Amino acid sequence: MINIIFFCDDEGNGAYPKNRYLDMILNYVEKKGELAVIEKINNYACLHSENEKIEFEDVVENKNVKEIIKVDETVSDVESLKNDAQRWAKELDGETFVVRVDRKGNHEYTSVELERELGAEIWKISKSDVDLKNPQKTYRVFIQDKRAFVSV
């Protein structure tokens, strides 16, 4: 299963993406002969599809779609997220990195605390330098309640 996050903030205020933009994305996918489900999550939308080779060039050209990111879904507990970060750390190969967390809902941690914890886990394994301003790789975590989406 592939999950793709579309950032669709047409108002510039962090509002939920409007249905017309989600409909546009779904129509685009359907025209390609694909099946997908799309859901609103915070100021982005997540598309779930079985086809890992869907192309989205035309969607990217829409001014209301700010960014498209392929993600893996996991759960939002700290241990699961640390395990995922450890797997990713093995692939860093000396490149600089940063961890960014966007968290919504009630959790036992803040976004900054989780960024530090995951960054420490990655550093323990990779020994790569952290670069907060111009990293070569960004490890991104989007959390909504008990769900988490992770991207590199």
pLDDT tens sequence across 72-96: 888 999 999 999 999 999 999 899 9
Phi, psi of 129 (to 5 degrees): -75, 145
pTM here? Answer: 0.77
pLDDT tens sequence across 29-51: 777 777 777 677 766 777 777 77
Sheet (strand 67-75) strand order: 36-41, 44-49, 2-7, 67-75, 147-151, 137-144, 97-104
Give me the pLDDT at residue 69, please.
79
What count of other Cβ atoms lies within 10 Å of the Cβ of residue 34? 15
Q: Domains in the chain, start-ordered, CATH in brackets?
A: 2-73 (3.30.70), 76-151 (3.30.2300.10)
The pLDDT confidence band at residue 10, using thresholds 50, 70 and 90, is low
Least confident interval from 20-24, 105-109, 144-148: 20-24
